[in-house]
Amino acid sequence: RGGGGGGGGVDYAGLAGSEEFEEYKVLARRLKLVDVGSMGEDEKVAFFVNTYNSLLIHAFAELGTPGDMLSRLRLYAVARYDIGGHTYTLNEIENGVLRGNARPPTPNGRAPFSDGDPRKGFACARPDPRIHFALNCGARGCPAIRFYKPERLDADLGRAAEAFCAGAEVDEGGGGGRGSQIF
């Protein structure tokens, strides 16, 4: 479920020591066999959203949960999977693939993939801003982790956006509002 403040009650240490996690790591190594180039847009988005969320859990289990924003940003640049023979960090999945090779919203941020980078060809042609309601960053207030399938991606992203915004309140009189801490 949601991030819950850098851990949210998730026992990442227990996960890291489990037999199931060892099996998961074997499966994660098989991502190098995936042919991203053969994927349609919805298949690619579903695949990379699911992979991003899985990689985040994997990183927290192996590296620990970051204690501050700088540590979190470092983790996004360090945690990586080999997918189809190319390395992808959390930042590269989010900003390079899912956001269409957009600059990250950080000071002095650059688009992850340069012109000569073959991964640039896998960037989404029509980035859907609702992916932000599908990516869990592991912090309190992040969207719940769900499994996304290409054949129902549009509906699932719509439901994720609605669920994330369900508790938000706006004071139309200009007095502010209430919602997730990441708003």
Report pLDDT for 7. Answer: 46
For residue 44, give its domain range.
Answer: 4-166
Is residue 105 in a domain?
Answer: yes
* Predicted structure pTM score: 0.87
Report pLDDT for 176. Answer: 60
Is residue 42 in a domain?
Answer: yes
Compute how many other C-beta atoms are within 10 angstroms of the C-beta atom of residue 48.
27
Q: What is the pLDDT of residues 60-95, one digit of tens each?
A: 999 999 999 899 989 999 999 999 999 999 999 999
DSSP string, 8-20: TT--HHHHHTSHH
Residue numbers in the chain where pLDDT is lower than 50: 1-7, 179-183
Report pLDDT for 142. Answer: 85
Report pLDDT for 178. Answer: 53
Q: What is the pLDDT of residues 123-134, one digit of tens each?
A: 999 999 999 999
Count Cβ atoms within 10 A of the Cβ of residue 7 and give its class: 0-12 exposed, 13-18 middle, 19 or more buried. middle
Report pLDDT for 170. Answer: 64
Q: How far apart are CA 86 and CA 96, in angstroms?
A: 13
129: amino acid identity, one letter: P
Maximum separation of any 2 CA atoms in the chain, in Å: 54
Q: Residue 18 is encoded by which pair of tokens? A: 């489990």
Is residue 181 in a domain?
Answer: no
The total domain count for the chain is 1
Report pLDDT for 1. Answer: 35
